Structure 1
Amino acid sequence: MPPPPPTPPLQQTIYVGPFVFSESSTELDVCPHGAIGVATTGTISFIDRDVPAELNNADGARWKAEKGTEWEDARMLVAEEGEFFFPGFVDTHIHASQYPNAGIFGKSTLMDWLDTYTFPLEASFADLATARRVYARVVARTLAHGTTTAAYHATIHVAATNLLADICVERGQRALVGRVCMDTLSPEYYRDESVEAAVRDSRACIAHVRQLDPRGELVTPVITPRFAPSCTTPCLRALGELHQETGAWCQTHISENAGEMAMVRELFPDSADYASVYDEAGLLTPKTILAHAVHLSEAERKLVKRRKAKVSHCPASNTALTSGCARVRELWDAGITVGLGTDVSGGYSASVLEAARQAIMVSRHVAMTEGDGAKLSTEEVLYLATRGGAKVVGLEDKIGAFKVGMQWDAQLVGLGEVAKGEEGKIGEDGPVDVFGWEQWEERVAKWLYNGDDRNTKAVWVKGRLVHYRPEMEHRN
């Protein structure tokens, strides 16, 4: 039997301290002394932007009473010095099954890497013990990095894909979970035996996820053709029909590198371009996530915009596999919605924070030849990591920011302050060193460029505590 959905918080909670989120793609909203009240449903009920910098027990009781009788018994979690609340990250493209290969891209190009590393690993998920070991770890690891929502590619195996959905619900992580489809190009030992089998098994996974979480509060199914070259035209069209019939999301790859694009031209000579292959199959819709989009032509950008499909920018992977530099500014200027993806294991890290800083670096490489207008700012990449990603997965009204009526998907970030007299001591607060003179802009920039999971002290999804570091034990 599938596990039940996670229970809501046992009591209302008020989170007190600084909070930061993207007001827009160019502006961070910073509240130095605020409070956010979260109901037992995990929904934000109130935001107070001006609370005492320090609340003792007596002051806290009086302050809560002012919020109404329903908040008098609410639990309070007060951020300590150097901590702030930030929305949870949204990873719009990650291969959960490939996590054991993270960092092992070697000297490979995309197609060599698939044959050498990816297909043998994914094929091993026919063994559910292997699948459980990997999937439990990748969900735990992404949560530890502050990822509250992930769009996961699984494998071709129905039972293992369903297991990934089960684990996401058990751990409380939001997820799009998709069984990978491919009836050609991949090795004979690892592919769908027929178009009918691809549709049948995808349908089975959709049914399982919808039975597991009928209201889609945490997990939702996503139809997942690996990429156009791995699917015959009949397979793509059948999956397009399934997409239209079920209303399930679709995720795939597009225009990742030159070799892949040449293959698409050879395999689909009657299509004008890569995007048209998906469009003609009925797979380019407002509920489609396209990973990479490194080499989209102007005509393809216009088509993607017209169909309201979304793009997952995967900068670490594109660099690691020397696929190219995606031009996020061009995509934005074309009116396309963009989020960030780690693309593990083409990407070497499961951290969306790492993807955000790599997005900045990739944009600077583009700027070296195309001008400073291509550069992305700290504010812009943090927007991509949160509100941009929320739009990509269709959750922009629920997550990605701190607004009344939205849900408490959040992380508590802690930055280590360098105490006088202890400059030579390295503690457990992670690699970000704060000396006390930094304004909020500098603090956030230091976290973006230097931070890692040690700075993520606690993580909540829909108000439920889903991860915390050992030093938080006494506070939870």
Structure 2
Amino acid sequence: MPTTREKSLHRTVYVGTFIHCETLQKLDICEDGAIGVDEHGKIVFVERNMENVGSAIVAHGWEDARQPDTHIHASQYPNAGIFGQSTLLEWLNTYTFPLESSLADINKARAVYSRCISRTLSNGTTTAAYYATKHVDSTNLLADICLDAGQRAFVGRCCMDNLSPDYYKDDSAETAIADTRSTIDHIKSIDSAYELITPIITPRFAPSCTSPLLHALGQLHKSTNVPMQTHISENLGEVQLVRRLFPESTSYAQVYDTHGLLTPKMILAHAIHISASERDLIRERDAKISHCPASNSALTSGGAKVRWLLDSGITVGLGTDVSGGYSPSMLEAVRQASLVSRHVAMLDGDAAKLSIEEVLYLGTRGGAKVVGLENKIGGFEVGMEWDAQLIGLTLVPEAETEQHGGALSHASFKLSSNEGPVDIFGWESWDERVAKWVYNGDDRNTLSVWVKGRLVHQRS
């Protein structure tokens, strides 16, 4: 197992094998390396190919291939896996709005948010763009819990003054803006420089907001420079609804653009059914896209054409979209991104398929760029912050492999005391080990998680 050598109380050297995405198509694998992290959680040196270091590594520390989660509804966590046979609009009314409205109860909100954050951290998510509810107090509580737990988070109060149940919507555009300002002010009071917690302006999606509210949110973004998040073209019925509600706009993307919301700091979730002109507009405005493959499949919304988006120059990251998505694991999002691309390829040709390297990039550097943190997280480089997870892979005992004519290399592995679902026989290349983790791994492989140098999760 990689060792840590304390130089002082707050400075640490991590020793082991480190893997991160160098480019969209290339993994950088650093065997027998050492990374120094200072008291501020920043990487100050990276040494490669050190001799006689980590001769019995069971867990391979690499840059967290599941951060950040660029789209997750913390308020929906109790419903993860519950969607029945519904599609998006039915699902909202049947499952989502009733649950979210119940989080006006601050004690219930505390239980839900605490568990959600604990679970995402245990799955290696160091950074998350969270949707909360319309309630100011419970949204502020989510920010408090994230700060206490040490998870980097973007926390958004949902704005919706239209087409939502009477029991769960904003009274007016004015009250929605006032309540959103209250959450921004609260986050500023607990983390003045937004070092860990950042407010994020959150119009739920265009149909749930009147034009005056969308305009006011665009003005709020302009005056505060706070980032934004919303949904776009997730479901065909939703796209048709937008056409009816905003007949003066030529497209869903233009609705956001004309209201001052399509900017480089906007995260658009889904983007399954956008047109070529919408894609070009999104690229021109440098807005970002959160691809949510598990949710898109679970709610039968469709298969996003990620290769088409990437080839156009749009920045894409991954989101779990709990609870439309059934799992809070970003590794599952990585896995499903690979599989969904293969389904798209069955219609569009093999060029649509995403490689292991590419889906890991979407879950790391791509996601970091989506949330505007590409200069802070996403890789093991000097000046970057130490956001990492320690991955444990199980070496099959030598006696078992001998029965199958196999041989083991003991130079890099030993048996893990916390056996996960990924079996390593010793002859696999590093690329093959990573692929086995992507397709077979889960939270049992995540032994430790750090955010900005702070240990925030350790598997017992």
Same fold, judged at TM 0.5 (above): yes
Provide the C-alpha distance between the structure 1 equivalents of 2:47 and 2:59, rounded to a whole number of angstroms: 20
Q: Deviations over 1:56-78 (max 9, x none)?
A: xxxxxxxxxxxxxxxxxxxxxx9
Structure-1-length-normalised TM-score: 0.90
Provide the C-alpha distance between the structure 2 equivalents of 1:339 and 1:79, rounded to a whole number of angstroms: 34
Q: Deviations over 1:254-291 (max 9, x none)?
A: 00010000000000000010000001111110000000
Quote the offset at 1:427 in angstroms.
7.2
1:449 and 2:439 correspond: yes
Aligned pair partner of 1:81 in 42, 58, 69: 58
Provide the C-alpha distance between the structure 2 equivalents of 1:330 and 1:79, rounded to a whole number of angstroms: 43
CA contact (8 A) 1:16 1:79 kept: no
Aligned pairs, number:
440
CA contact (8 A) 1:96 1:135 kept: yes
Q: Deviations over 1:278-326 (max 9, x none)?
A: 0111111000000000011011011101111000000000000000000
Aligned pair partner of 2:315 in 334, 337, 341: 337
Q: What letter matches 1:281 in structure 2?
A: H
2:96 paired residue number:
118
1:44 and 2:43 correspond: yes
1:173 and 2:151 correspond: yes
Quote the offset at 1:236 in angstroms.
0.7
1:434 paired residue number:
424
- What is the DSSP-based 3-state SS (H/G/I as helix, E as strand, rest coil) of the residue aligned with 1:421? helix
Q: What letter matches 1:80 in structure 2?
A: I
- What is the DSSP-based 3-state SS (H/G/I as helix, E as strand, rest coil) of the residue aligned with 2:103? helix
1:269 paired residue number:
247
Note closer, same or farther for the CA distance 1:391–1:267 as it changes in structure 2 (3 Å cut).
same
Provide the C-alpha distance between the structure 2 equivalents of 1:17 and 1:128, rounded to a whole number of angstroms: 43
CA contact (8 A) 2:157 2:183 kept: yes
Provide the C-alpha distance between the structure 1 equivalents of 2:36 and 2:418, rounded to a whole number of angstroms: 30
Provide the C-alpha distance between the structure 2 equivalents of 1:195 and 1:10, rounded to a whole number of angstroms: 50
1:20 and 2:30 correspond: no
1:463 paired residue number:
453
Q: Deviations over 1:418-463 (max 9, x none)?
A: 1123579997421101111111000000000000000000000000
Q: Deviations over 1:84-131 (max 9, x none)?
A: 322361100000000000000110110111001000000011100010
Quote the offset at 1:243 in angstroms.
1.0
Q: What letter matches 1:84 in structure 2?
A: G
CA contact (8 A) 1:86 1:413 kept: no
2:188 paired residue number:
210
Q: How does 1:77-476 map to 2 (within 5 A)?
A: 80-87=57-64, 89-421=67-399, 428-470=418-460
Quote the offset at 1:53 in angstroms.
3.3
CA contact (8 A) 2:61 2:388 kept: no
RMSD: 1.6
Note closer, same or farther for the CA distance 1:248–1:79 as it changes in structure 2 (3 Å cut).
farther
CA contact (8 A) 1:102 1:344 kept: yes
Provide the C-alpha distance between the structure 1 equivalents of 2:208 and 2:399, rounded to a whole number of angstroms: 60
Quote the offset at 1:149 in angstroms.
0.4
CA contact (8 A) 2:161 2:171 kept: yes
CA contact (8 A) 1:255 1:296 kept: yes
Provide the C-alpha distance between the structure 1 equivalents of 2:374 and 2:162, rounded to a whole number of angstroms: 36
Provide the C-alpha distance between the structure 2 equivalents of 1:207 and 1:244, rounded to a whole number of angstroms: 16
Note closer, same or farther for the CA distance 1:448–1:183 as it changes in structure 2 (3 Å cut).
same
Provide the C-alpha distance between the structure 2 equivalents of 1:275 and 1:124, rounded to a whole number of angstroms: 32
1:30 and 2:29 correspond: yes
Quote the offset at 1:79 in angstroms.
7.8
CA contact (8 A) 1:18 1:79 kept: no
- What is the DSSP-based 3-state SS (H/G/I as helix, E as strand, rest coil) of the residue aligned with 1:467? strand
- What is the DSSP-based 3-state SS (H/G/I as helix, E as strand, rest coil) of the residue aligned with 1:126? coil
Structure-2-length-normalised TM-score: 0.94
CA contact (8 A) 1:87 1:402 kept: no
Identity among equivalent positions (%) equals 64
Structure 2: 5+ residue stretches without partners: 1-7, 404-414
- What is the DSSP-based 3-state SS (H/G/I as helix, E as strand, rest coil) of the residue aligned with 2:456? strand
Provide the C-alpha distance between the structure 2 equivalents of 1:422 and 1:163, rounded to a whole number of angstroms: 51
Note closer, same or farther for the CA distance 1:79–1:102 as it changes in structure 2 (3 Å cut).
farther
CA contact (8 A) 2:160 2:204 kept: yes
Provide the C-alpha distance between the structure 2 equivalents of 1:189 and 1:11, rounded to a whole number of angstroms: 50
